[in-house]
């Protein structure tokens, strides 16, 4: 529905549709073969060449055929049309009923044919409601002939083209009057929203007129089939807009609230999705942090274990070095004790020699040379003993080191020996010079040779 400032477009459309509908109904009435009431004037019988009689149809909405010629004619009425047949001088009709065909004498008889089909009346009632506002009420009424003997006496079916025109006009005027009376007591909203009171009022009035009360002969011999109200339109476009505004505003409010609810639902879904996304991101970051922490812990444990292993290794190495140093210290202490023991033994021998020298001094001057030689002998013995002790010490060493020490000490030994007046060569064979015992044997032999030489040099020897 659309409205403009110049007028009510919907009202104009309804009126136009009503006019089109009326034109369509009028066209159907005029169509050949369509049921319509008609009074058929006597048809003329014509002879065709050869003496044959022609049939003629009476002009009108009902297809009534008249056959025969002159005074011997027959009227053939369709089965859906009412007919009444009267004759001059007769008070009552000769034939009356639905679809009755009869013999017809043009000079004394008359007949009336009326359609028996249901008739439809279109109603456009321009009313004024209780608020003094114009309202167009559109409806229709369908009626049918119920008692033709009563109807043909009380109603005018004399229109040859449309026998029902006057009857429809009278019923339409009564229906519009009834609708206007009912609408004048109702408000605009009641007319637009509830049309049942109008239908009941219109049905009651039309039945009282058309049918009478309790099927008496006070009616028109008609029966109201149905009464319906199709449209109720406010004539004022401004009033129509004002009537629509509350509903439109309410619907707009409902639509806006629905949009707000939809937006709220979408916002909640978006927030839920964002929260889920953020939760998943935080969980992912937490898992990464846990993996990093476990990796860092594993690296730290590995480094600590490596440090501990290195520290243990260094400790073991230090302990091994300490043990080695301790063993070296023990060996040095042992060597130092042996050296002290050797020095003690040397001191003891020195003391004994000094005692012996003192004894020799006491023995006299005669024994001075002897004592000197004995002292030399003792010194040689002491040297030999010292050499033996050193050899014992050196036996614990390698033969190469002992040999090196012996070779190193030979010049000192030779320097301490007395200078010989003659040179004698002594050949020593049979000893193994690579061993300490062999070297000692050679030294003992050399000392013996020197001793014999010294004894030969003494006076009186």
Q: Give me the CATH number covering residue 14.
A: 3.30.479.30
Per-residue confidence (pLDDT) for residue 3, from 0 to 100:
41
Instruction: Give the residue-averaged pLDDT of 241-258.
Output: 83
Query: How many domains are there within the chain?
Result: 3
Counting DSSP H helices and E strands in the chain, the numbers are 9, 10
Residues 143 and 183 grouped into a single domain? yes
Per-residue confidence (pLDDT) for residue 266, from 0 to 100:
92
Is the residue at 264 inside a domain?
no
Residues 103 and 178 grouped into a single domain? no
CA-nearest of 244, 290, 15, 239 to 126 is 15
Per-residue confidence (pLDDT) for residue 36, from 0 to 100:
37
Note whether 171 and 202 are within 8 A (CB).
no
Is the residue at 305 inside a domain?
no
Per-residue confidence (pLDDT) for residue 432, from 0 to 100:
60
pTM above 0.85, yes or no: no
Least confident of 142-146, 385-389, 404-408: 404-408
Least confident of 175-184, 218-227, 283-292, 432-441: 432-441
The model's pLDDT over 305-330, given as tens digits with 9 standing for 90+, comes to 888 888 888 888 888 888 888 888 88
Is the residue at 176 inside a domain?
yes
Tokens 């043009």 belong to which residue?
106
Residues 64 and 140 grouped into a single domain? no
More confident site: 420 or 278:
278
Residue 189 has pLDDT above 80, yes or no: yes
H or E segment to which residue 17 belongs? helix 9-30
Is the residue at 144 inside a domain?
yes
Long-range contacts of 66-71 (CB under 8 A, 24+ apart): 66/40, 66/42, 66/104, 68/104, 69/45, 70/45, 71/105, 71/106, 71/107
- Of 205, 235, 265, the domain-final residue: 235
Residues 127 and 99 grouped into a single domain? no
Other beta carbons within 10 angstroms of residue 143's beta carbon come to 24
What does the mean pLDDT of the chain come to? 76
Pull the structure tokens for residue 159.
Answer: 């229109």
Alpha helices in 111-236 (DSSP H): 148-154, 165-183, 188-193, 196-210
Least confident of 28-37, 182-191, 245-254: 28-37
Distance from C-alpha of 349 to C-alpha of 383, rounded to nearest angstrom: 11
Residues 372 and 394 grouped into a single domain? yes
More confident site: 374 or 402:
374
Residues 15 and 129 grouped into a single domain? yes
Residues 148 and 111 grouped into a single domain? no
Residues 125 and 182 grouped into a single domain? yes
Per-residue confidence (pLDDT) for residue 28, from 0 to 100:
46
Least confident of 162-166, 175-179, 194-198: 162-166
- Of 99, 115, 131, the domain-final residue: 115
Note whether 38 and 112 are within 8 A (CB).
no
Residues 109 and 134 grouped into a single domain? no
Return the percentage of the chain with pLDDT > 90, whole number.
Answer: 8
Residue 263 has pLDDT above 80, yes or no: yes
Residues 88 and 193 grouped into a single domain? no
Is the residue at 97 inside a domain?
yes
Residues 155 and 91 grouped into a single domain? no
Per-residue confidence (pLDDT) for residue 417, from 0 to 100:
66
- Of 216, 235, 254, the domain-final residue: 235
Is the residue at 82 inside a domain?
yes
The model's pLDDT over 84-100, given as tens digits with 9 standing for 90+, comes to 888 888 888 888 888 88
Residue 460 has pLDDT above 60, yes or no: no
Is the residue at 398 inside a domain?
yes
- pLDDT grade, residue 260 (50/70/90)? very high
More confident site: 55 or 232:
232
Domain extent for 447: 364-457
Least confident of 30-44, 127-141, 297-311, 429-443: 30-44
Is the residue at 208 inside a domain?
yes
The neighbouring-strand residues paired with 126 are 136
Residues 99 and 135 grouped into a single domain? no
Instruction: Give the residue-averaged pLDDT of 233-262.
Output: 83
């Amino acid at each position: 529905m659309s409205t403009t400032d110049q007028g009510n477009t919907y009202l104009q459309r309804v009126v136009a549709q009503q006019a089109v509908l009326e034109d369509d109904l009028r066209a159907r009435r005029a169509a050949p073969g369509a049921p319509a009431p008609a009074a058929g004037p006597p048809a003329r019988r014509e002879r065709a060449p050869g003496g044959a009689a022609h049939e003629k149809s009476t002009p009108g909405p009902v297809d009534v055929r008249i056959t025969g010629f002159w005074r011997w004619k027959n009227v053939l009425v369709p089965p859906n049309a009412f007919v009444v047949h009267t004759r001059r001088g007769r008070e009552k009709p000769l034939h009356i009923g639905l679809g009755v065909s009869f013999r017809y004498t043009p000079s004394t008889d008359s007949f009336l044919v009326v359609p028996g089909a249901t008739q439809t009346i279109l109603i456009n009632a321009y009313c004024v409601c209780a608020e003094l506002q114009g309202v167009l009420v559109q409806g229709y009424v369908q009626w049918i002939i119920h008692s033709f003997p009563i109807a043909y006496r009380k109603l005018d079916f004399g229109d040859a083209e449309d026998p029902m025109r006057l009857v429809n006009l009278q019923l339409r005027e009564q229906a519009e009057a009834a609708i206007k009376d009912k609408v004048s007591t109702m408000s605009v909203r009641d007319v637009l929203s509830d049309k049942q009171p109008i239908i009941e009022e219109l049905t009651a009035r039309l039945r009282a007129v058309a049918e009478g009360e309790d099927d008496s002969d006070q009616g028109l011999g008609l029966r109201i089939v149905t009464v319906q109200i199709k449209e109720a339109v406010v004539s004022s476009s401004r009033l129509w807009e004002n009537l629509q505004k509350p509903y439109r505003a309410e619907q707009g409010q409902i639509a806006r609230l629905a949009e707000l609810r939809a937006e709220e639902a979408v916002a909640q879904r978006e927030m839920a999705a964002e929260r889920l996304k953020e939760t998943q991101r935080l969980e992912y970051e937490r898992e990464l942090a846990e993996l990093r922490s476990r990796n860092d812990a594993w690296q730290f444990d590995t480094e600590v274990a490596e440090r501990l292993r290195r520290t243990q290794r260094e400790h073991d190495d230090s302990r091994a070095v300490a043990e080695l140093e301790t063993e070296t210290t023990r060996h040095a202490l042992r060597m130092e004790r042996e050296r002290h023991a050797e020095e003690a033994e040397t001191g003891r021998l020195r003391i004994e020699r000094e005692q012996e020298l003192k004894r020799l001094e006491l023995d006299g001057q005669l024994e001075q040379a002897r004592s000197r030689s004995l002292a030399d002998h003792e010194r040689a013995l002491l040297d030999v003993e010292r050499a033996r002790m050193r050899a014992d010490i050196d036996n614990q060493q390698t033969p190469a080191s002992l040999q090196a020490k012996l070779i190193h000490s030979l010049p000192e030994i030779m320097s301490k020996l007395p200078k010989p007046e003659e040179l004698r060569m002594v050949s020593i064979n049979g000893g193994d010079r690579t061993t300490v015992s062999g070297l000692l044997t050679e030294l003992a032999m050399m000392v013996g040779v020197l001793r014999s030489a010294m004894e030969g040099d003494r006076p009186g020897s």
